[in-house]
Chains A and B, each alone.
Chain A
Amino acid sequence: MLRHLGQRLLTTIPTLVGVVVVTFLLTRILPGDPAAFFAGPTADPAAVEQIRVTLGLDKSLPEQFVAYVGDLLVGDLGVALSTGQPVVAEIAARLPASAELTLFGLILSVAVAVPLGILAAVRQGSWIDHLCRLLTTAGVSLPVFFTGLLFVYVFYFLLGVAPAPLGRIDLFASPPPHVTGFYLIDSLIAGDLETFRASFAQLILPGITLALFALAPIARMTRASMLSVLSSEFIRTARASGLAPGTVIVRYAFRNAMLPVITTLGMVFSFLLGANVLVEKVFAWPGIGSFAVEALIQSDYAPVQGFVLTMAILYVLLNLLIDLLYGLIDPRMRIEG
């Protein structure tokens, strides 16, 4: 098992190297000149040049790359010019916010999509099946930023049932003591139900916005997977031997249909982590996505590189985790591996 893990880790190295190189090159061909941007409104060419030297931008590309990789190896991702803080600190502070939002959206989505998918598979071809397909497809048909703004308009501005879109927690409440960085979990650890409620309320709208987007892939995969399992021999046998239909579906069919669904969840999670850049922007969510977007617009290299690298590592770890889960769920994979 450990050897398998080690081998898997080794295969991810070329991917990470590729990500580092591509990101570096991509950020360098961005048309912006961070030196000019940060030199201030009245800077003359000399002042711009001075900042260029300060930032190390006067060196050749290979030199810059070597310097970058050298810093990377000691865990230094550079300083974000837009916030003035080290990128490592920024990401550490913002990643929990993004992860909490994404996980929340994912759980919400699973809670709706999996039952829908099972129902659609069991009643294949009926109106429930069609309705499920229409609903989930509608979810992926609108730009997330549009859905988000619409929600804010209706539920906050018009109806007043949602809290102000001011980020993770109400302004006059203080965040819970830092343990995991997830406000929901930290507030429970601290036993502070008020804070829990406040941060939960903040999560609802952005969470739903994200969840809508994830409905379709999860529901579709659940349905497809269920269909193929339901038509298999052992289910027919189970049915023929007179087990209750509910037992057959939940205990036998669903358990066996889980595998592809878990794979999809992994993909959807990494997809959502990327997609929530726009949701974060709409809801003033202090996550890494909105941070990276701003940095990209400002040609601020360090945060973009740091963000992409973090996401790539997350992605690799996630796939590793799914591999391991596979092994646990399906012993056949373990033998083959």
Chain B
Amino acid sequence: MNRREFLASAAAVTTATALPLPWSVAFAQSRSETLLFVSENGPNNLDIHGVGTNRPGYEASWNCYDRLMSYGVKTLPDGSLSYDKDTLVPEMATEWTVAADAITFKLRQDAVFHDGTPVTAHDVKWSFDRAVTVGGFPTFQMKAGSLMEPGQFEVVDDFTFKVKILRPDSLLMPDLAVIVPAIFNSKLVKANATEADPWGLEYTKNTPAGSGAFKVEKWTPGTEVVYVRNEDWKCGPLPQLKKVIWRTIPSAGNRRALIERGDVDLSFDLPAKDVLEMAKAGKVKVASTPISNGMWSVELNVTQPPFDNKLVRQAIAYALPYGKIMDAVMYGRAKPLYGAASNVADSMEWPRPTAYTTDVEKAKALLAEAGYADGFETVISFDLGQALISEPTAVLVQESLAAIGIRSTINKVPGANWRGEIAKKTMPFMINFFSGWLDYPEYFFFWCYHGQNAVFNTMSYQNPDLDAIIDAARAAAAAGDTATYETKIKEMITLGYEEVPRIPLFQPSLEVAMQPTIDGYTYWFHRQLDYRGLKKA
């Protein structure tokens, strides 16, 4: 009996009774092999190399394509699963050898793309060339691992592929296992490329051309993505799920209602409060994983007086209502990044707490010492797209600043404008979140503190001493000099925390709720859902 017949018979039964409720009775059967999940946003592009692909687009790319390597999975102390940044495992490559000047990958010989074409080293080369050439985010991400030019990538034979090393970089191997270096069906994409679009970006935007575990059956932008399993997937054990339906539900309240009533299997990226209450109610399972290399912080633009004054920055660090934010905004579901014994880092823990606590007297004293006993005026800005966390935080911060005489107004910046605004570097006082894919503290500092003044150095903080330490740490990592690396990392954190252009608040968690029938959920660095390991009882 197929689904439609089933529906019809179910309907025939129910029409006999009072009001038929087809939506609650009819669909039990097909559901056991289908995962239905909801999130706030859907993809705008199924190819991570595309222009302006959004985060949900990364998820489509992750599940529809394979890479040479992936990360291993480990069990965290609380029993949940997470990717393991220290283990690289085979995906399209079965083995690899690392030499001083190059890495050689042996590819699987039985893998085929979704259209049946065999995967060869030529495809890998073409895909990598594309990533470093198309510009924008993919090219930038490749550069983070010193993967910069097509000349680095070489086809040795059909199933042997070589990456030449331009300069020692400890991030090269990890960077080959992120989403960007995906393997594309070069024949298919080339056939659909045009003169104006030599890399076929328009084609792959709507049609994944990969060899991954899932194929996109139907994509209705802004509404849903329907995937089916790729029965010929070779790069790992066949996923248990035959079908995955991903629906976009903008209203957070509705997403919660859907999971609580059991109408969807999984709800991805929920507010802390919902997860807390659902965990208490016990009807659904929740998974909560600290977002690696990520933190919410208050960021002070040091080019805007009086934030050029370290004493003022420290005064603010002592004025912030940490405990209130943890309670009222995060409901205790985050790692506090304040209140340590000292700002001097004594371990490699990252993100680690600062020594600041809410101490109004000390804040007032510091402010007086800086010559601002009567306070000053400023504007607190935040990203409206993150309002759930940043708005109540801003309200609490505003009140605390008033207690030490700093008068402020709140400036909500619509999500689209946020990136443009931080790039301008004119906002004096921001409440913001940053997380890095590659989980290394120097990676965080390189983007957020280094004098190169990247867009995430929202504070425009430039300190040659700190730059020297960051550069030294990167060099030590590349050279494999663990002792120097660790010393430099500790120095780096200590200096950053003493200077506090960026005042850490807390490390949030990625919160996911699912029905008790769902198993195998794994946290990934990209903070999107991997369907491959999911199981449904």
Contact = CB atoms under 8 A, between A and B. Distances in A.
Interface of A: 31-34, 36-45, 47-48, 50-51, 54, 80-85, 90, 93, 149, 152-153, 156-157, 160-161, 163-167, 170-173, 193-194, 197-198, 201, 281-284, 286, 290-291, 294, 297-300
B251 A149 contact: yes
A44 B140 contact: yes
B245 A40 contact: no
Q: How extensive is the interface on chain B, given as a class?
A: 35 or more
B52 A51 contact: yes
A172 B137 contact: no
Contacts of A153: 253, 257
Interface in B1-60: 3-4, 7-8, 11, 19-24, 26-27, 30-31, 34, 36, 44-45, 50-54
Interface stretch (B315-323, B410-418, B491-499): B410-418
B309 interface: no
A42 B416 contact: no
A284 B248 contact: yes
B299 interface: no
Contacts of B279: none
Contact of A31 (B8, B54, B417): B417
Interface of B: 3-4, 7-8, 11, 19-24, 26-27, 30-31, 34, 36, 44-45, 50-54, 135-137, 139-141, 144, 205-206, 220-223, 245, 247-251, 253-254, 257-258, 260-261, 263-264, 384, 414-417, 419-420, 423, 447, 454-456
Contacts of B24: 160
20 contacts: A32-B417, A36-B420, A36-B423, A37-B52, A40-B53, A42-B454, A43-B136, A43-B140, A44-B140, A51-B52, A81-B44, A166-B247, A167-B247, A171-B247, A172-B31, A194-B4, A286-B222, A290-B250, A294-B222, A297-B414
B22 A198 contact: yes
Contacts of B53: 40
A82 B250 CA distance: 14
B50 A50 contact: no
Contacts of B420: 32-33, 36-37
Contact of A47 (B19, B135, B417): B135
Contacts of A83: 44, 221-222
Contact of A43 (B8, B220, B455): B455
A39 B419 contact: yes
Nearest to A193: B11
B417 A173 contact: no
Given A152-B254, A297-B384, 9 more contacts: A42-B141, A51-B51, A157-B257, A160-B261, A164-B261, A166-B249, A194-B22, A201-B22, A298-B416
B136 A32 contact: no
Given A38-B51, A43-B455, A171-B245, A152 B253 contact: yes
Given A36-B420, A282-B251, A194 B11 contact: yes
A172 B3 contact: yes
B249 A47 contact: no
B314 to A, nearest CB: 30
A200 to B, nearest CB: 10
In the A-B complex, the 8 residue pairs with the smallest Cβ-Cβ separation, listed nearest first, are A38-B52, A40-B137, A83-B221, A33-B420, A36-B420, A32-B416, A298-B416, A163-B23
B258 A164 contact: yes
A194 B51 CA distance: 41
A298 B251 CA distance: 17
A84 B27 contact: no
A93 B218 CA distance: 14
Contact of A197 (B22, B31, B44, B257): B22
A291 B221 CA distance: 10
Nearest to A93: B220
Contact of A84 (B19, B137, B221, B250): B221
Contacts of A47: 135-137, 139-140
A45 B135 CA distance: 12
A227 B490 CA distance: 84
A160 B24 CA distance: 9
A198 B7 CA distance: 11
Contacts of B456: 42
Nearest to A169: B23
B223 A286 contact: yes
Given A51-B51, A82-B44, A194 B423 contact: no
A39 B136 contact: yes
Contacts of A81: 44, 52
Nearest to A97: B223
B137 A39 contact: yes
B417 A50 contact: no
Contacts of A85: 206, 221
Nearest to B385: A297
